[in-house]
Structure 1
Amino acid sequence: MELTTVDLSVFALYVVTLFTIAMLVSREKAGHTKDANDYFLAGNTLPWWAIGASLIAANISAEQIIGMSGSGYQIGLAIASYEWMAAITLIIVGKYFLPIFLKKKIYTMPQFLEYRFDGRVRLTMAIFWLGVYVFVNLTSVLWLGALAVNTMAGVDMFYAMLFLCLFSIAYSLYGGLKAVAFTDIIQVVLLIFGGLFLTFTTLSMLGDGEGVISGLNNLMTRAPEKFDMILAPDHPHYVDLPGLSVLVGGMWVMNLSYWGFNQYIIQRTLAAKSLREGQKGIAFAAFLKLLMPIIVVLPGIAAYLLLPGLERPDRAYPELMLLMPQGIRGLIFAAVIAAIVSSVASMTNSIATIFTMDIYNKLGNKQHDPAHLVKVGRLVSLLSLVIALVTAKPLLGNFDQAFQYIQEFTGFFTPGIVVLFLLGMFWNKTTANGGLAAALGSAVLSFGFKLWWPQLPFMDRVGLVFILCGLLAILVSLVEQNKVQPKAIELADVNFVTSKGYNIAGVAVALILIAEYSAWW
């Protein structure tokens, strides 16, 4: 047992506080029964600060903290492109995608696809997302989270995963998205404070008693190869992050898919009080994303010097946690668990939303009672956790860098998804068959390139498949009908004008990114 009594007391206080707040925000007014909108979209009551915090809490989980730190240990600062490029992607999502989604008043991404195309597209994508969320996202969060618990507390991996499942159920199953989103405020504060403390402490260790700045300079001097943002073709990890593709290639496709069309991320913005409130929340999240590499990547690079020769890179962050002082170690442990259970709760809620609203609610002609749909959603949440618990070790137990595995696997499908949504929203001649051709063609083309052109970096493959899927969708649509579709989005009816504050935030994010890439080129 690596955690002391003080550490466990700090952690226990966090658990009790989180559970208490979740129960308070989940309470309903006398006489009101929680319906589907309350459970899956928090009754459209989320303010901007809850949206922004919840976006980050859902995103930053074990796959980022543990997995990305492991990639920082192995590759270096270049892996931070996933975080920094996400900031500008969020600004784009808030300006051009969110107005369309809120105009349609949707619950899920598959639901939007039926509004724009037809039921076949909705069902196909609903089944696809359920598979990815359960067998890729949920399993990875549980496995990597259990790795941290195992390292810190010596708990068996299976029981650690079971603990994470039960913890997430305890505070989120009853209250739904509202409980998740409002408790995410605590999660993010804890994550940022604990993460920054660990980063500053590890850098101070490298500073030989002369402070954080000295430690950073020492790290850059002794491991300069870890601070290349744009990797050269002869770099040993070029295949993971192929040069300029992180700026002008496949990285954009990956980020647009994740932040714009990913149910368990975008669901927070769909629950906003208003469009303006949702956009403010997205801008808040964009600035937090700029901070994340300091919390999740820099410690991994520091561990390269502090903990050389680790058997597995993904053990870098958990091992660093053991170097923290008593009490603070418990706080950082709570921060990591906070990030993990928040993502688990977010994923299970989104899995429940998609299954309930896109599959179960569409079966037969019966109009289901709203309270019944909430019960189905809770049952599906439980079932998804059981499946992920059983399959996590077989799927992820043999990977050294789980974060890279997740990116490559999802990269088989994301090009077609992005084409499907972009053309669906912004080209009124896109047909349902054209969209399906892009979505299904993405998997076929990606697997084909993987087999016959294995040396092609996966991010370049994502960019290439995106272009081919776009051409395929356009060709099918033109050959099939070549006319404006009856379900096309009327862009003239959508308000794309953003506030002055949002525009300033967008410019600020862009300038910060330019400065960061200029400094670390």
Structure 2
Amino acid sequence: MKILDTFDWISIALYFLLLLGIAVWVIRKKKENTEDYFLAGRNIGWFVVGASIFASNIGSEHVVGLAGTGASDKLPLLIYEIQAWVVLILGWVFLPFYARSGVFTMPEFLEKRFDARSRWVLSIFSIAAYVLTKISVTIYAGGVVVSALLGIDFWTGAIATVILTGIYTVLGGMRAVVYTETLQAVLLILGATVLTFIGLDKVGGWESMTKTLTPEYFNMWRPATDPDFPWPSLLITSTIVGIWYWCTDQYIVQRALTAKNIKEGRRGTIFGAVLKLLPVFLFLIPGIITLTLKMRGELHWDSPDEAFPILMSNLLPSGLRGLVAAGLLAALMSSLASVFNSCSTLFTVDIYKKLKPNTPEKKLVRTGQVATVIVVVIGIIWIPIMANISGVLYEYLQSVQAYIAPPITAVFLMGIFHKRVNATGAFATLVMGIVIAFFRITLELIKGNFDPNSFLYKLGDMNFLSFGAWFFLFCILFIIVVSLLSPAPSREKVVNLTFGTITAEEKLKNKNSYNWVDISISIIIIIIVIGVMVFFNGN
């Protein structure tokens, strides 16, 4: 690893000055009400919505983890990064229902469609899941990146980044988050693009790289009997996790809800889907380049998660190295800011406001700020636990999500597509799903204590992708059966909140919110995704 020089530090300093300028500008403009603090006044245009969706998604765990995937033999995990088509489902299918209901949060939507029980369960579970997956993984990856880039120790790097991000998130709320994320998205794309082109030039182009690695390496579709990545389970479970993450998770959907109207919101998701096509080229390919250089004896690293920082520090010239380092810091900060703000929104709107409905707006904003500070502290406490996690970081994230996603995805999909599904079915499925998810995670950790022929060992040892697919099918059947065995939901619980109950007026309003350009770009995105799937088939 090369240490950053003066020009690199100047680039990083300029980035932080620009970030500070945006944060100060936003903090001076903000109003003391919940709509402004949590949803940026619902006044954001499509460009900022799309850039914010992309920057929220691409955290340092993606940069580190996806490059690590490219630098190891786990290319099938690429399927999680070509989910631009699922982002389109958010804009075209889910967003109109969310916009019509006028909600701040996803648990709030479940209360409108079902009842308060589902809202409570999803609120508390979402906050816990953010700590387990998003906050912990982002901070761990950030510590790896910052310590590798800036030549400081892991703890100092991780804590400094968490505190810095926490300050502008607490003070500026959602508006500070979306505007700083727009800057961060631009910087990250520029930096990673330069690194990809310089890296490809260094290895002698794509053809030279494929000769070193052999065509089999580039196959993301393994046989159905593959012990790690059987392709049917990979395709099904990645889609279930994708719908949960992109279409029902507060972390992402909150960005679309900040839009001025449904038209800007949908265009924001389409723009976000366009940007979502980039990670394959910006992060996966640098990982593959690093592996090629290692096999040729030109680079050395111990863990695949070090691939991106090592390639960057060794290939980029002075000054530019600092710019890409700033881009990586931007990725870390944008993800952290998003999850901090989402946690404080869930706590304030779904828990505190439910317990104290008459709280003044100004006090709710203060509560949101205190909640953010608490989440920052919890994040710091989690660092030593995350530092002990080994293996490819990205795979850890996907395996945990494969257990969390099925029940939530089932409840939202059935809630929108099946008007007979009721509150009892939704509540029972969420509780059952969470219990089974934690049971499976526990079994995975202690399976060594069981007889290899026992049912519990086999359940704990079952491939995480196959488990996710069967678990989702079980959740769908469970919610339908429980709903059919209990009374049908009342009319106000389904009108305009499920397919088949939308009024003619709402249908017309939705039809007027898009045109042929929106449809054409969406079709092109789907064609590109199919093209990437075909390209990485090992032939």
For residues 129 and 74 of structure 2, what CA distance do their matches in structure 1 show?
28
C-alpha contact 1:226 1:301 (8 A) present in aligned 2: no
Indicate which of 199, 202, 206 corresponds to 1:216: 206
Aligned counterpart, 1:270:
257
For residues 175 and 431 of structure 2, what CA distance do their matches in structure 1 show?
34
For residues 436 and 158 of structure 2, what CA distance do their matches in structure 1 show?
35
Give the Å deviation of 1:54: 0.2
The residue type paired with residue 404 of structure 2 is F
SS at match of 2:13: helix
Give the Å deviation of 1:454: 4.1
Distance 1:418 1:485, change over 3 A: farther
For residues 515 and 442 of structure 1, what CA distance do their matches in structure 2 show?
35
Give the Å deviation of 1:455: 4.6
SS at match of 2:119: helix
* 1:508 partnered with 2:524: yes
Aligned counterpart, 1:73:
71
For residues 439 and 501 of structure 1, what CA distance do their matches in structure 2 show?
38
Indicate which of 39, 42, 66 corresponds to 1:41: 39
Q: How does 1:85-484 map to 2 (within 5 A)?
A: 86-207=83-204, 215-223=205-213, 224-233=215-224, 239=228, 241-247=229-235, 249-308=236-295, 310-323=301-314, 324-364=316-356, 366-446=357-437, 447-448=439-440, 451=456, 452-482=458-488
Give the Å deviation of 1:97: 0.2
Give the Å deviation of 1:419: 0.8
Give me the TM-score of the superposition, normalised by structure 2: 0.90
More off after superposition, 170-179 vs 354-363: 170-179
The residue type paired with residue 20 of structure 1 is G
C-alpha contact 1:25 1:179 (8 A) present in aligned 2: yes
Post-superposition Cα deviations, 1:53-85, rounded to whole Å, max 9, x if no partner, equal: 00000000111000111112112543221111x
CA RMSD of aligned residues (A): 1.8
SS at match of 2:462: coil
Post-superposition Cα deviations, 1:483-512, rounded to whole Å, max 9, x if no partner, equal: 666512433134353422221122111111
Give the Å deviation of 1:233: 4.9
C-alpha contact 1:18 1:171 (8 A) present in aligned 2: no
For residues 397 and 225 of structure 1, what CA distance do their matches in structure 2 show?
32
Post-superposition Cα deviations, 1:338-378, rounded to whole Å, max 9, x if no partner, equal: 111011111100000000000011114x5111111111111
SS at match of 1:297: helix
SS at match of 2:172: coil
Give the Å deviation of 1:166: 2.2
Give me the TM-score of the superposition, normalised by structure 1: 0.93
Distance 1:98 1:6, change over 3 A: same
For residues 174 and 373 of structure 1, what CA distance do their matches in structure 2 show?
14
Distance 1:93 1:115, change over 3 A: same
Aligned counterpart, 2:515:
499
The residue type paired with residue 456 of structure 1 is M
Post-superposition Cα deviations, 1:434-480, rounded to whole Å, max 9, x if no partner, equal: 11222222244454596433453212221211111010000000011
Aligned length: 505
For residues 178 and 260 of structure 2, what CA distance do their matches in structure 1 show?
13
Give the Å deviation of 1:317: 1.0
For residues 15 and 482 of structure 1, what CA distance do their matches in structure 2 show?
55
The residue type paired with residue 220 of structure 1 is T
Distance 1:489 1:400, change over 3 A: farther
SS at match of 2:71: helix
C-alpha contact 1:76 1:226 (8 A) present in aligned 2: no
Structure 2: unaligned runs, 5 residues or longer: 445-455
C-alpha contact 1:76 1:225 (8 A) present in aligned 2: no
C-alpha contact 1:250 1:460 (8 A) present in aligned 2: yes
SS at match of 2:331: helix
For residues 488 and 17 of structure 2, what CA distance do their matches in structure 1 show?
59
SS at match of 2:171: coil
Aligned counterpart, 1:211:
none
Aligned counterpart, 2:449:
none
The residue type paired with residue 376 of structure 1 is T
For residues 435 and 173 of structure 2, what CA distance do their matches in structure 1 show?
36
The residue type paired with residue 505 of structure 1 is I
SS at match of 1:412: helix
Post-superposition Cα deviations, 1:264-313, rounded to whole Å, max 9, x if no partner, equal: 11101111001010111111111111111111111111111223563211
For residues 106 and 156 of structure 1, what CA distance do their matches in structure 2 show?
43
Give the Å deviation of 1:203: 1.4
Structure 1: unaligned runs, 5 residues or longer: 208-214
More off after superposition, 318-327 vs 122-131: 318-327
Distance 1:398 1:246, change over 3 A: closer
C-alpha contact 2:73 2:217 (8 A) present in aligned 1: yes
Give the Å deviation of 1:100: 0.3
The residue type paired with residue 441 of structure 1 is M
Aligned counterpart, 2:5:
4
Give the Å deviation of 1:392: 2.2
Q: How does 1:49-64 map to 2 (within 5 A)?
A: 49-64=47-62
For residues 429 and 515 of structure 2, what CA distance do their matches in structure 1 show?
34
For residues 407 and 387 of structure 2, what CA distance do their matches in structure 1 show?
25
The residue type paired with residue 16 of structure 2 is V
For residues 346 and 306 of structure 1, what CA distance do their matches in structure 2 show?
35
Give the Å deviation of 1:22: 1.8
SS at match of 2:278: helix
For residues 246 and 286 of structure 1, what CA distance do their matches in structure 2 show?
21
For residues 424 and 386 of structure 2, what CA distance do their matches in structure 1 show?
33
For residues 155 and 139 of structure 1, what CA distance do their matches in structure 2 show?
20
Give the Å deviation of 1:171: 2.9
Aligned counterpart, 2:22:
21
Give the Å deviation of 1:28: 2.6
The residue type paired with residue 403 of structure 2 is F
The residue type paired with residue 479 of structure 1 is L
C-alpha contact 1:116 1:489 (8 A) present in aligned 2: no
The residue type paired with residue 426 of structure 2 is G
